[in-house]
Amino acid sequence: MEATVWDLVNGTDAARITLDEDERARMDASADRFDQAIAADEPVYGVTRGFGPLVRFAADPDNAAQGLNLIHHLAAGLGPALAPDSTRLMLRLRIEGMKKGYSGIRPADWGNLARAFNAGFLPVVPAKGSVSASGDLLPLAHAALALAGHGEAWREQDGVLSTEPAADALARLGLPAMRWGAREALSFVNGSSASLAVALQNHATTLSLSRIGAMLTGQTVDLLGACTEPYADAVVRARGQLAGHARAARWIRDELAVDVAAGKARSVQEPYSLRCAPQIIGSVLDYLRSVEPLLLQEAHACSDNPVVAAEAVLHAGNFHAINAGVVSDLHAVLVHQLAFLAERQLALVLEPGTNGGLPALLAGSPGATSGLAGLQISATGLVAEIRQKSAPATTTALPTNLSNQDIVPMSLIGALRTREQGELAALVLAALAIAVAQIRHIRGVTPTAGLWADILRACPRLVTDRPLSAEVNTIRDLLLTWAAARGPDDRRITGTQRSRARTAVR
């Protein structure tokens, strides 16, 4: 798999899962050890024994019935469907994890899953109900059900997604319905792939939001004629050359037409929303950088229980998704910082005392028109909602499953919460971009090509008041497309990657 979270997330749409000879040998060794355990009448969770707290009871002697019972009783997910791009990444992580040689699965059975993934089969999976303790049992059970020809699957035609019966999707793609034995079913559903998939996507989204926030900061500083000293390399060096701080400052400097020293600026020191932006955005980038290796290790790992190693069948807890949960809680705080910064910058450019003598609320005729008054209220409400969602999900655990799962991480809940925050934060940044566009109109700084030409066309000067909701959505899409085209390190990426990065926060 790819070496960065950005590449992993944005490369999954076009990814194909394959098996090399070393992986095949490890899978066979694991499956041989599993067969030895069964032949020796060793107790094996979920195969010779029941599931969860019912492990003290014998399993159904019919292997196929035991596998179907697992899938059927866990197919209890509720609520809206998990986003299709999240579902595909979830499947990729689960299928890749099963080939590590710890799942007791034969390559032939695994190959049916890989073929379904490579053919583009995509189950419809309810997003709600997982506590992410024995992995994300419910979403993966619904995926397993669809792979067996029950439930629904996604179908894309001319760029439009719809649903169809899973059996019809399998037939259309020339795929057989999966026949789930107990071990195969247990290995598939007993992983933390759903919460990890969404956490990985949120990680990439937060990188994009950081890039957009830095760009809008630079635009605001430049248009207001603010002091540019806070973005100097020497300031970065003085703080220890933190990588995130350095990158954020560079991104801001990229937007500056000229350097303005304190003695020639409109003020020696600006409010913190401008002056401390490199530290705030840089902190987000540094925290993302610090947890990226952990997320990648999880993405390359096996989260099965039992672990069927070549030397023993080990009953353990690799499926507990605490790492994805804690990282998702961190992501929630980081997204809030970016949204709060953008909202404060929006307030600064709307306030006559800080916007350099521009009209209050950037109105065309203050009093007769109200400019961006409504948009500011909306942005304030969005930030309040983002803030309310920032409480850690991992601290809201409830015991369940007859107290077998007595400490659970709620990781998918936290990751889905952060995805919602990212969607709201993108709208706050778009609101700030509309304000910057109005300043450009007022000052006559109107390029004829590039991102800002597109934004200015989408958002004309507010001579009279008009509804702005549609413009916010349009500009959000322009910003996300712009950020996706640059990636996390200003490199150009493919059209497919750009599309996936953009849609991940919509």
Residues that are catalytic = 45
Dist CA 132 CA 191 (whole Å): 9
Across 154-183, b (16+ Cβ under 10 Å) vs e yields bbeeeeeeeeeebbebbeeeebebbebbbb
Instruction: Record the tokens describing residue 335, joined without a space.
Output: 């997204």
Sign of CA dihedral 258, 492, 276, 363: positive
Q: What is the DSSP letter of 49?
A: B
With 0-12 / 13-18 / 19 or more C-beta atoms within 10 angstroms meaning exposed / middle / buried, residue 110 is: buried
H helix or E strand, kind and range, residue 424: helix 411-443
Neighbouring C-beta atoms of residue 366, cutoff 10 Å: 14
Sign of CA dihedral 370, 372, 374, 380: negative
CB 194 within 8 A of CB 412: yes
Residue 124, φ and ψ in degrees, nearest 5: -85, 120
Dist CA 344 CA 338 (whole Å): 10
> Which residues fall within 8 angstroms of residue 158, CB to CB, at 6 or more apart?
none
CB 151 within 8 A of CB 123: yes
Amino acid identity, position 138: L
Give the DSSP per-residue string, 70-91. Answer: HHHHH---EEEEPPHHHHHHHH
Amino acid identity, position 19: L
CB 187 within 8 A of CB 98: yes
Dist CA 207 CA 79 (whole Å): 28
